[in-house]
């Protein structure tokens, strides 16, 4: 049975962080050692990020909160809110992003309405509350109250793949199923000042965002699908358990991102791809170099550099990942869906004959876990004529005009 992704839309909060301004704030914090100050400059400048988005509105330069919790603009001091304070903000602000992204995905799929949704899968690793985001989406979008709801929590940056894999399984088990998948992460809730290299790196990389997709095997003669969901695979590398982790502390969640992670990926990425590409008979013996599009989770610039070097990918093939990193930062589970959206918005390549195009995608997370997926971009109509592949630009997140610290 063929399962399709019929819409893929994104959302970001309204507050934008300018990387250079954020670097200045973090570098000016009291308590930093001389080494810590140097690390702040190095991490922020080498992250290959220009802008990121945050749900913490008080990080705005012009914002003057009466009782600031994260950032006191009057003194320039970053504050240390408790995990409870951070999680309370998550419950409020993440709900907005979950609902916005879900509504965008539904609006972009005119053949499907709210009552058609049979399954809902939500994803986040940056906060907890119950009734959770799945409940909030059902109420806000007017979904059937009997919709089957699932939440994937605290898995990390690779969690969009288990969510899409579950959606595919639901559709294969029930051909009438229509699955709404929504990932939303507020990573910026957990940034803090520190001399710890992992904490500094997290402050330089992580951001907030959401993405949602509708997956179904139903046929819609008048509507073209975006992607065919072909295969998913999971691989645990033999090393790396201590190199990437996500722990709960008293002052927010604490990231562990060792500088050895890019080397682990460099050593094991070829082996991680083998189970994926060997699943489909048509790809057996086909070098991965013949796959046109690569949707790589931009966990950081050095990770992308290692992936590109090891797989011998061209600069052009890394543009979707690098541009996502540059414009949005690392939004954990939602990020790879932004990369896929970027690929879907690309025009057909020169000389394209209207045929379908392969996409190989991968993300990395705690464990060290490597999730991989193979998709087919549907770049032609049913009668074989080529059609544009871009999405509705009205639903794309626009750059706010204000500059924030």
Q: Check: CB of residue 368 under 8 Å from CB of residue 237.
A: yes
Number of H helices, E strands in the chain: 10, 15
Going 48 to 51 to 53 to 56, the CA torsion angle's sign is positive
Q: Would you call 157 a catalytic residue per the annotation?
A: yes
Q: What end-to-end distance do the CA atoms of the chain give, in Å? A: 50
**Which residue is it, tokens 């998913």?**
232
What would the 3-class secondary structure string for 251-319 be? CEEEEEECCCHHHHHHHHHHHHHHHHHCCCHHHCCCCHHHCCEEEECCCCHHHHHHHHHHHCCCHHHHH
Instruction: Give phi and psi for 6, each to the nearest 5.
Output: -100, -20
Residues 6+ apart with CB under 8 A from 203: 22, 26, 40, 43, 191, 192, 193, 194
Give me 151's structure tokens.
């939440």
Give me 329's structure tokens.
């930062």
Give me 131's structure tokens.
């009734």
The beta-strand segments (E) located in 12-102 are: 15-18, 51-54, 71-72, 77-78
Give me 261's structure tokens.
């992670």
Listed residue (124, 64, 114, 119) closest to 93, CA to CA: 124
Q: How would you label 125-153 residue by residue, b for 16+ Cβ within 10 Å and e otherwise? A: bbbebeebbbbbbbebbebeeebebbbbe
Element housing 119 (H / E): strand 119-124
Q: Do β-strands 148-153 and 119-124 pair in parallel, antiparallel, or remain unpaired? A: parallel
The residues with which 133 forms a beta bridge, in sequence order, are none
Which is the catalytic residue, given 125, 157, 187, 360?
157
Active site members: 157
């Amino acid at each position: 049975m063929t399962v399709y992704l019929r819409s893929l839309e994104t959302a970001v909060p309204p507050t934008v962080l300018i990387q250079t301004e954020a670097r200045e704030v973090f570098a000016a914090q009291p308590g930093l050692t001389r080494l810590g100050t140097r690390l702040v400059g190095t991490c922020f400048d080498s992250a290959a990020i220009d802008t990121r988005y945050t749900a913490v509105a008080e990080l705005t330069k012009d914002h003057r909160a009466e009782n600031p919790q994260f950032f006191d603009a009057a003194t320039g001091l970053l504050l240390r809110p408790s995990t409870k304070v951070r999680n309370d903000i998550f419950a409020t602000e993440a709900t907005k992003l979950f609902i916005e992204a879900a509504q965008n995905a539904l609006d972009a799929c005119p053949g499907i309405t709210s009552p058609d949704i049979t399954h809902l899968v939500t994803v986040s690793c940056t906060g907890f509350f119950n009734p959770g985001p799945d409940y909030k989406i059902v109420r806000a979008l007017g979904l059937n109250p009997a919709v089957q709801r699932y939440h994937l929590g605290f898995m990390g940056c690779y969690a969009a793949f288990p969510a899409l894999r579950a959606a595919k399984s639901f559709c294969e088990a029930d051909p009438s199923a229509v699955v709404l998948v929504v990932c939303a992460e507020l990573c910026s809730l957990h940034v803090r000042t520190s001399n710890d290299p992992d904490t500094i790196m997290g402050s330089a990389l992580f951001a907030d965002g959401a993405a949602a997709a509708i997956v179904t095997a139903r046929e819609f003669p008048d509507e073209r699908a975006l992607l065919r969901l072909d295969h998913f695979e999971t691989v645990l590398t033999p090393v790396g358990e201590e190199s990437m982790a996500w722990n709960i502390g008293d002052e927010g969640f604490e990231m562990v991102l060792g500088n050895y992670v890019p080397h682990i990926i460099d050593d094991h990425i070829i082996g991680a791809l083998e189970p994926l590409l060997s699943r489909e008979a048509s790809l057996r013996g086909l070098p991965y170099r013949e796959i046109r599009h690569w949707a790589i989770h931009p966990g950081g610039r050095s990770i992308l550099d290692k992936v590109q070097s090891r797989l011998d990918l061209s600069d052009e093939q890394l543009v979707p990942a690098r541009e996502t990193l540059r414009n949005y930062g690392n939004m954990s589970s939602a990020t790879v869906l932004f990369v896929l959206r970027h690929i879907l918005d690309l025009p057909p390549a020169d000389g394209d004959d209207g045929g379908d195009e392969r996409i190989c995608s991968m993300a990395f997370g705690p464990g060290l876990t490597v999730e991989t997926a193979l998709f087919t971009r549907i770049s032609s109509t049913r009668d074989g004529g080529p059609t544009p592949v871009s999405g509705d630009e009205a639903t794309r997140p626009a750059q706010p005009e204000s500059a924030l610290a």
